[in-house]
Structure 1
Amino acid sequence: MTAPAASREQWIDHPRGRIFARRWSPQGVQQPPAAPPILLMHDSLGSVALWRDFPAALSQATGREVIAYDRLGFGRSDARSGRLSLDFVREEATDVFALLLDQLGVPRCVAMGHSVGGGMAIQCAAEYADRCEALVTVAAQVFPEDRTLSGIRAAREQFRDPGQVERLARYHGDKARWVLEAWTETWLDPGFASWTLVPILPRVRCPALAVHGEDDEYGSAVHPDLIAQHSGGPVERAILPGIGHMPHREQPDQVLRRLAAFLEAGTGG
């Protein structure tokens, strides 16, 4: 996947610390594209850097600006202390999303997220309908499915190997241990068992694309099914055969084609 695109860094001031963001523009475009940009929300262990070359390729494929940011506590953003709130998905929408868009100078966007970032994108589209042109979820979960929790337990065992944490530190520095525990200990907390996005999905009225790998080890097709069943707007499901939890890495060209077609047809882009 080769798609060079110009990028620049930007920092956002938040009451709890600075948030790092990177912006990509389509190659050869002198002015920012007129269509709203795509805002990427990363997964539980993710960061801007871990999107790798996907944002640049996405910008080229759609002709839109693409923005990715590190949540507080992740990547290059400032560290956090203490346990992650069990209400962290909603809080990302209510405490960060609008502030982020305002400082980025972005009136509206396409909210797009991978894994729990997809859940955050759903929450943002529900809370800020006027600021979301469209919603894209990739391997999103809308409740803690048994498959999700089993996968997290297995991953927690793998991270007992110090080498795994060292690899995570390449992207999160000395925040790596906090990042890991924010994922495993929050999702496996008994108090998180009742979390669900189903009640808020009817408030999502923009067009939505739910991309999901048929072999996703962290969630079955029940998640895109629930998104399609309960959303208040039109939803396109894209169940990809032979694909696991990382569709944008496993089959990036296929994902890019689906995304570009969806945005062109669904939003008039």
Structure 2
Amino acid sequence: MPTATPSPTPTKLSLKNLTLEVAHWQPDQTIRAAHTLVFLHEGLGSVAMWRDWPARLCQRLGCAGLVYSRQGYGQSDPVTNVRGPSGETAGVRHGRLLPDYMHREALEILPTLLEALNIQRPVLVGHSDGGTIALIHASRFEVAACVVMAPHVMVEDISIQAILAARQAYEHGPLRQRLTPYHADVDCAFWQWNDVWLSEAFRGFDIRPELGSIRAPLLAIQGENDPYGTMAQIDEIARAVPQTQLLKLPNCGHSPQRDQPEAVAQAVQTFIRDL
């Protein structure tokens, strides 16, 4: 993609009793953007971990953009006692995530954020957990379109094995050090994701019955070498949502936007143009 102006400096946005790290921009202030792309990060992601890919994609498409860090990630409000019992005080969550955490994000937090910023009918661009959140949101709310990269619509054995490997890399390898620059509380960011995925209750997570309610155009992207999921993930989406376009990328792991940035950008550009 062409070089873009730097991504805007993230700011803090207060939503009721929750403060989130956000970056919101127009690629060219003289042009009214046709769409706003809302980027939803992976299970260990944040605003900073997207790097400049969202800004470059928005510039290429002539779209506005929004990136934010979910609670407990990046510079957003922390989650206290993340390995303790789950609870809520004055609307702010504390304790470990529950198996419905992606539904809560998609159906409660994201709509509140979009309303606060007056974003209507966004194009959701979600990666991994963010892709799942995008799908759940699109099944209940009106969106212009949905782009999902390496989403999870069900739990596969390959996913659990990869997440077990991530735990080993975090406790005994370099993963904690690599993640530390991207999160105010790296242990919170890691354990809230890792613990819920490895919990017995989460093995039954399955959003396939909800996918049939999606009416928006949908682009689903999966790498052939993704250790966190097989092609069954996006094939199941296409089975439930007839208007789905599939992109299966060779030589690509769990992060298509990093492993195959130009192929993904070109596919998204074509997809958005056809809207």
TM-score for the superposition, normalised by structure 1:
0.92
Aligned AA (2:121): R
After superposition, the CA RMSD in angstroms is 1.5
The equivalent of 2:240 in structure 1 is: 230
Structure having the higher helix fraction is 1
In structure 2, list runs of 5 or more residues that go unmatched: 81-94
Superposition map of 1:1-269 within 5 A: 1-5=1-5, 7=8, 9-26=10-27, 28-33=28-33, 35-81=34-80, 82-128=95-141, 130=142, 132-161=143-172, 163-173=174-184, 175-231=185-241, 234-265=243-274, 267=275
* CA shift digits 1:218-246 (9 cap, x unpaired): 10000110010012x51000001111111
Distance 1:8 1:105 in 2: 20
Work out whether residues 111 and 136 of structure 1, in 8 Å CA contact, stay in contact via their aligned partners in 2.
Answer: yes
SS of residue in 2 equivalent to 1:143: coil
Could you say if the C-alpha distance between residues 124 and 41 of structure 1 is closer, same or farther in structure 2, counting changes exceeding 3 Å? same
Could you say if the C-alpha distance between residues 170 and 52 of structure 1 is closer, same or farther in structure 2, counting changes exceeding 3 Å? same
Aligned AA (2:98): S
Work out whether residues 125 and 148 of structure 2, in 8 Å CA contact, stay in contact via their aligned partners in 1.
Answer: yes
In the TM superposition, residue 4 of structure 1 has moved relative to its aligned partner by 1.2
SS of residue in 2 equivalent to 1:4: coil
Distance 2:129 2:194 in 1: 12
Work out whether residues 71 and 79 of structure 2, in 8 Å CA contact, stay in contact via their aligned partners in 1.
Answer: yes
Work out whether residues 213 and 247 of structure 1, in 8 Å CA contact, stay in contact via their aligned partners in 2.
Answer: yes
SS of residue in 2 equivalent to 1:193: helix
Work out whether residues 93 and 127 of structure 1, in 8 Å CA contact, stay in contact via their aligned partners in 2.
Answer: no
Distance 1:16 1:143 in 2: 31
The equivalent of 2:86 in structure 1 is: none
SS of residue in 1 equivalent to 2:35: coil
In the TM superposition, residue 16 of structure 1 has moved relative to its aligned partner by 4.0
In the TM superposition, residue 163 of structure 1 has moved relative to its aligned partner by 4.5
In the TM superposition, residue 57 of structure 1 has moved relative to its aligned partner by 1.3
SS of residue in 2 equivalent to 1:239: strand
Aligned AA (1:55): P
Aligned AA (1:186): V
Aligned length: 260
In the TM superposition, residue 2 of structure 1 has moved relative to its aligned partner by 4.2
Work out whether residues 106 and 133 of structure 2, in 8 Å CA contact, stay in contact via their aligned partners in 1.
Answer: yes
Aligned AA (2:19): R
Distance 2:40 2:167 in 1: 22
Distance 2:217 2:2 in 1: 28
In the TM superposition, residue 102 of structure 1 has moved relative to its aligned partner by 1.1
* CA shift digits 1:155-183 (9 cap, x unpaired): 1111113753233221112x211111112
* CA shift digits 1:51-89 (9 cap, x unpaired): 011011111221101211000111011111210121101
The equivalent of 2:87 in structure 1 is: none
Work out whether residues 2 and 60 of structure 2, in 8 Å CA contact, stay in contact via their aligned partners in 1.
Answer: no
SS of residue in 1 equivalent to 2:220: strand
Aligned AA (1:83): R
* CA shift digits 1:96-146 (9 cap, x unpaired): 111101111212201110001100000110121x2x110110011111111
Distance 1:31 1:243 in 2: 35
Aligned AA (2:262): D
Work out whether residues 61 and 257 of structure 1, in 8 Å CA contact, stay in contact via their aligned partners in 2.
Answer: no
